[in-house]
Amino acid sequence: MSQTITLKIDGVEIKAQPGQKVIEAADAAGVYIPRLCHKPGLEPFGSCRLCTVLANGRPCSACTTPVVEGMVVENETESLQNFRKQIIEMLFVEGNHFCMFCEKSGNCELQAVAYRFGITAPTFPYQWPHREVDASHPDILIDHNRCILCGRCVRTSRDLDGKHVFDFVGRGCEKKIGVNADSRLADTNADISDQALDACPVGALLRKQTAYQTPIGQRLYDLEPIGSEIESTGNTN
Amino acid sequence: MTKPSEAVARQACQDVNLDPTRLLDVLHIVQKECRCVDDSAIDAIAAEMGIPRVRVDGAVTFYTFFTKEPVGQITIRLSSDIIDRLQGAQEVADALTDELGIDFGQITADGLFSLHWTSCIGMSDQAPAALVGDTMVTHLTAETARLMVRSLREHKHPPKLVQELGDGKNAHPLVHTMVKNNIRQPGSIIFGPINRGEAIRKALGMTPVEVIRAMKTSRLRGRGGAGFPAGLKWEFTRAATGDRKYIICNADEGEPGTFKDRVLLTELPDRIFAGMTIAGYAIGAQEGIVYLRGEYAYLKPYLEEVLAQRRVEGWLGQDIAGKQGYHFDIRIQLGAGAYICGEETSLISSLEGTRGDPKNRPPFPAQHGYLGYPTVVNNCETLCCVTKILENGAATFSEFGTEQSSGTKLLSISGDCTAPGIYEVEFGVSLQKVLEMAGATQVQAVQVGGPSGQLIGPDQFDRVLCFDDLATGGSIMIFDQSRKILDIVHAFMEFFVEESCGYCTPCRVGNVLLKEGLQRVLDGRGEPADLEQFEQVGAMMKACSRCGLGQTSWRPVVTSLQSFRDQYESRVADDPDGFRRSFDLKKAVATAEKITGRKSVHA
Amino acid sequence: MPATKPRIATTSLAGCFGCHMSLLDIDERILQLAELVDFDKSPIDDYKQFTQHCAVGLIEGGCCNEENVAVLRDFRTHCDVLVSIGDCATMGGIPALRNMVTIEECMQEAYVSGPSVYNPSGKVPDNPEVPLLLDKVYPAHEVVKIDYHLPGCPPPADTLFAALVALLSDEPIKLPYQLIKYD
């Protein structure tokens, strides 16, 4: 039997397994730490920074920081919530997110965290960047307007699909998802059955002709905030 | 004409034995020979090395010095740093665009020239400066810039621009540059007397643990800026398990206003290499790598020569200095124009032949560094200190400086002063004293530690330079009373927007928003709420950014807001009618007015 | 009961009137609303100008032309509280799809080269009556200060009604999770 680790999140003691990241331990214990780039089963990435917590007083991303015995984690503090709100707003104004017609609306994790934080409009000015849409592939669409650069497609394609269809190109605010071909997704070996397509938290990577099938009211985040699933199923052993 | 990029790329891959970690070397060759790394080169490299092409594409598009579109046979990269700008870079730029008939970012019709802005090239004490091909051209004026273009048109050979050679090793045939050292105040540690070989001999006479103990006794802290205790870093790396270990010299000084490592690399490379050899012995490494910033490519042939000489003399290679079983060698990796690569984990990513993205920590490089092996990354100046500590003893070293900051510090002083250049000062010296040394009068503000440091006013000039008060990697930029603080801050934010790697949200977006917000204030369109938001964004970036870049890049705005609040407040106001001052109706209808030929009835 | 009821004004700028439709979707509760308020400038009563100062102004749509700006500023001047209703007002919405192209391209596509355009003159129509377009579509809060935002395309009738009742009773707007949506 492996030794368990005890740590505290917002004053509540939880048990964790050695090697777990803080976010994994929190999930298992029914404590939701907001996140976008983290996805169970993928290599920790730490790009969105939404899961920033204080671990023993120092800020760090919960998705990349391993648990340590006696660790004291602060999660829902006023300042951290304020930081997270800023990050969510930044992701909204940085891209072009047209929720009103987006195929992913209702099932979109970016939108869902914004709902959870009660954001009604961003306080930062919109950037309206000029970004491309790649509809070359018969079954798959990439809309860079909606991409939040979380790298979930990159990691899934590389590590689970074994394909490396996607990776990052460019730097800074020019950074974007590139495909493993001269320019078009159609020229890669991307396939409709790729798990990478399910990894996208937003509407940047979509299977064509599958949209709007779930009625409003029955989509993932229509009735309950994102994170409820963790908060309701976790056990604090 | 240029060679077919595919063939060049394939040959370059063969030259590095198809080792993907040497991707940067391959890209340098292709860029040089083909003036770009185009899609067919990318395809060829990917095929030859057996790596996904998008990975190659990702690396090409990460580094400023690699381009997918062709650049000129001669690239002119003018330093956009604030010091260069305040000393006339814009006039130089105007002369260049006029003389060449192209804008920045363009290439002349004959393909001979292309013109680019580039982040600080480490010549702030001899600004304005430009990188022409690999040749440094300093002290430019509008007139000399025109003459430069005219002579290049004739001989097409940038090294021929060097007529008057710089001092010291700048005049060495392999360096052959007009760059000057400007060593204004040599101190007794870094620039103290040299007893060649002594440090290594002493180190090899000790056990590695004793060498580390000496480092700890000296209380040496990293000179790059962060100030982590060097002995502790070595101890962690020595203790970490790994089949191999690495010592890396960070020679990627990119913090605007810093140029001290350039002088060390020019004048004291032996001390840097000796420091690496000693570190290698202490941590159990057999290989050292110098990550040399791409801007300093002109120093590479000379540094290679110094390394070759050290091999001949037995200071590198097998059984060093006669010590049976201690083998150690050093290679140089050339960077390619990315400030972020000065951050140690980004530097490691870059050395591994990928985009220079920072890595998640933990694990720290001491446990899991270059290629996953325990790795020490030390700054050039730190390594010089190492050599000196072994040479003269830890106690002698720690007599200098303060309790928490032992030894001396090299300062790169630039801006409004009579004697810009390199100063070796004891830690604990007051900023006031430093300003006097440099001959700075009528000082309005000093940027200590480069853009990621802090901007302070005269009321704080009695503060002292050390890790506990005014920490600095060495950059001291002086601004007199004629300078506009907000313009300076804006230039710094432009720099960070340009240099953010884009990996994490706070830094990728935060810098852009701060820069734009500052622009609103400069345009007289800011509101008091903007200032509040600057502070909030700064606090968020500090806590949430993934690496040191974003954790500090908000500081130009927030520290200047603290020190020079009146300059901000005099420019912001609330509109009495509740209209947003940031919205400019005149500007918003300008295009439509032009198209229709009508005037707005509301603007 | 106060002698005069608070007044409310509404407008649709660069919007589709969908948010106004949603307001009408409060069904019989409109009687309740009529008890609480009098309408001033609004398409609902077709008042073209403000007659008095208003307690609340509801803004549908962002600003795509100079007239939108003038109307929005007029609302700011005449209303104590401004509420952006709908995605167009809060984030630009569908009209803002043109923000990724230049005005020239946009007009060319709309009036000359679009696949379904019939325009033998080959010219972009222009008339002094037509307000000049702005360089891009702005959400309302980038033009004037907005006090509350109610996103949605459109915001549900329940959201609008609950928010209005709260505002008119001087209570903070607190909406349940299900009522704040961006679609």
Interface contact C77-B598, CB threshold 8 A? no
Percent of chain A with pLDDT over 70: 97
What is the pTM assigned to this prediction?
Answer: 0.97
Percent of chain A with pLDDT over 90: 96
Q: Tell me the average pLDDT of chain B.
A: 97
Q: How confident is the model at residue C125 (pLDDT cuts 50, 70, 90)?
A: confident
SS3 B492: helix
pLDDT in tens, C82-120: 999 999 999 999 999 999 999 999 999 999 999 999 999
Whether the per-residue pLDDT at A100 is higher than 80: the answer is yes
How much is the ipTM here? 0.97
Interface contact A173-B502, CB threshold 8 A? yes
Contacts of B540 in chain A (CB under 8 A): 82-83, 86-87
Contacts of A164 in chain B (CB under 8 A): 52, 54-55
Whether the per-residue pLDDT at A195 is higher than 80: the answer is yes
Q: How confident is the model at residue B47 (pLDDT cuts 50, 70, 90)?
A: very high
Q: B573 vs chain C: nearest CA distance in angstroms?
A: 13
State whether residue C171 sits within 8 Å of chain A by CB.
no
The structure tokens listed for B390 are 């072994």
Q: Which of A19, A33, A28 is nearest to A69 (CA)?
A: A19
Whether the per-residue pLDDT at C6 is higher than 90: the answer is yes
CA-angle at B85, arms to B81 and B90, nearest 5°: 125
The structure tokens listed for A92 are 């909204």
pLDDT in tens, B355-409: 999 999 999 999 999 999 999 999 999 999 999 999 999 999 999 999 999 999 9
Whether the per-residue pLDDT at B233 is higher than 80: the answer is yes
Interface contact A120-C142, CB threshold 8 A? no
CB B487 within 8 A of CB B533: no
For an interface test with C, give the residue of A97, A99, A216 to mutate (most C CBs within 10 A): A99
Q: Which of A168-172, B1-5, C171-175 has the lowest mean pLDDT?
A: B1-5
pLDDT at B603: 83
Whether the per-residue pLDDT at A237 is higher than 50: the answer is no
Whether the per-residue pLDDT at A1 is higher than 70: the answer is no
Contacts of A216 in chain C (CB under 8 A): 183
For residue A54, give the amino acid letter: L
Q: A218 vs chain B: nearest CA distance in angstroms?
A: 31
Q: C76 vs chain A: nearest CA distance in angstroms?
A: 18
Contacts of B499 in chain A (CB under 8 A): 172
Interface contact A169-B61, CB threshold 8 A? yes
pLDDT at B3: 73
pLDDT at C1: 46
Those residues with Cβ within 8 angstroms of residue C183's Cβ, 6 or more apart along the chain or in another chain: A99, A100, A101, A102, A105, A106, A216, C87, C152, C153
Interface contact B54-A124, CB threshold 8 A? no
Alpha-carbon distance B446 to B252, whole Å?
A: 23
pLDDT at A234: 58
Q: Which of B92, B81, B85 is nearest to B495 (CA)?
A: B81
Bridge partners (DSSP) of residue B579 are C144
pLDDT in tens, B395-407: 999 999 999 999 9
Those residues with Cβ within 8 angstroms of residue B76's Cβ, 6 or more apart along the chain or in another chain: B96, B113, B114, B115, B116, B130, B131, B132, B149
For an interface test with A, give the residue of C83, C94, C105, C181 to mutate (most A CBs within 10 A): C181
The structure tokens listed for B113 are 């020239």
pLDDT in tens, B453-502: 999 999 999 999 999 999 999 999 999 999 999 999 999 999 999 999 99
Q: Which of B218, B222, B126, B118 is nearest to B474 (CA)?
A: B222
Contacts of A127 in chain C (CB under 8 A): none
Interface contact A46-B546, CB threshold 8 A? yes
Whether the per-residue pLDDT at C176 is higher than 60: the answer is yes
Contacts of C100 in chain A (CB under 8 A): 96, 128-131, 145
Shortest CB distance from B578 goes to which of C67, C134, C144?
C144
Whether the per-residue pLDDT at A108 is higher than 70: the answer is yes
List the chains bordering chain C where 3 or more Cβ pairs fall under 8 Å: A, B
Interface contact A126-C139, CB threshold 8 A? yes
The structure tokens listed for B123 are 């010549």
Q: Tell me the average pLDDT of chain C.
A: 94
Q: What is the mean pLDDT of residues B545-551?
A: 97
Domain limits, chain C:
7-96+134-179
Q: How confident is the model at residue A158 (pLDDT cuts 50, 70, 90)?
A: very high
- Name the phi and psi angles at B116, rounded to 5: -145, 145
- Nearest Cα residue in chain A from C180: A115
pLDDT at A2: 65
Alpha-carbon distance A233 to B545, whole Å?
A: 31
- Nearest Cα residue in chain B from C147: B578
In this structure, the strands spanning C63-65 and C133-138 are: antiparallel
Q: Which of C162, B537, C179, C149 is nearest to A115 (CA)?
A: C179
Interface contact A87-B505, CB threshold 8 A? yes
Interface contact C76-B590, CB threshold 8 A? no
Alpha-carbon distance C42 to A183, whole Å?
A: 51
The structure tokens listed for A161 are 């699909």
Q: Which of B36-40, B246-250, C168-172 has the lowest mean pLDDT?
A: C168-172
Alpha-carbon distance A32 to A49, whole Å?
A: 15
- Nearest Cα residue in chain A from C181: A115
Secondary structure of A101-115 as H, E, C letters: CCCCCCCCHHHHHHH
- Nearest Cα residue in chain A from C90: A121
C7-96+134-179: which CATH architecture? 3-Layer(aba) Sandwich (3.40)
Dihedral angle over CA of B513, B514, B519, B525, nearest 10 = 80
Interface contact A49-B362, CB threshold 8 A? no
Q: Which of B186, B246, B155, B239 is nearest to B410 (CA)?
A: B186
SS3 C7: strand
Q: A143 vs chain C: nearest CA distance in angstroms?
A: 13
- Name the phi and psi angles at C110, rounded to 5: -70, -40
Percent of chain B with pLDDT over 90: 98
Q: How confident is the model at residue A235 (pLDDT cuts 50, 70, 90)?
A: low
Q: How many CB pairs under 8 A join A and B?
A: 126
In this structure, the strands spanning B408-415 and C133-138 are: unpaired
pLDDT at A233: 78
Q: Tell me the average pLDDT of chain A.
A: 96
- Name the phi and psi angles at B291, rounded to 5: -95, 100
Whether the per-residue pLDDT at B2 is higher than 90: the answer is no
> Considering only CB atoms, which residues of chain A are within 8 Å of chain C?
92, 96-102, 105-106, 111, 114-115, 118, 120-122, 125-126, 128-131, 145, 216, 222-225
Q: What is the mean pLDDT of residues B152-164?
A: 97
pLDDT in tens, B64-95: 999 999 999 999 999 999 999 999 999 999 99
Q: Which of B70, B63, B77, B74 is nearest to B136 (CA)?
A: B77
- Domains of chain A by range and CATH? 5-76 (3.10.20.740), 101-207 (3.30.70.20)
pLDDT at C3: 58
Shortest CB distance from B585 goes to which of C69, C124, C128?
C69
pLDDT in tens, B342-351: 999 999 999 9
- Nearest Cα residue in chain C from B579: C144
pLDDT at C117: 95
Alpha-carbon distance B360 to A63, whole Å?
A: 10
- Domains of chain B by range and CATH? 5-60 (no CATH), 74-163 (3.40.30.10), 185-398 (3.40.50.11540), 408-481 (3.10.20.600), 486-569 (1.20.1440.230), 576-603 (no CATH)
pLDDT in tens, B90-116: 999 999 999 999 999 999 999 999 999
Interface contact A100-C180, CB threshold 8 A? no
Alpha-carbon distance A22 to A5, whole Å?
A: 11
Shortest CB distance from B508 goes to which of A165, A175, A182?
A175
pLDDT in tens, A121-154: 999 999 999 999 999 999 999 999 999 999 999 9
Interface contact C76-B577, CB threshold 8 A? yes
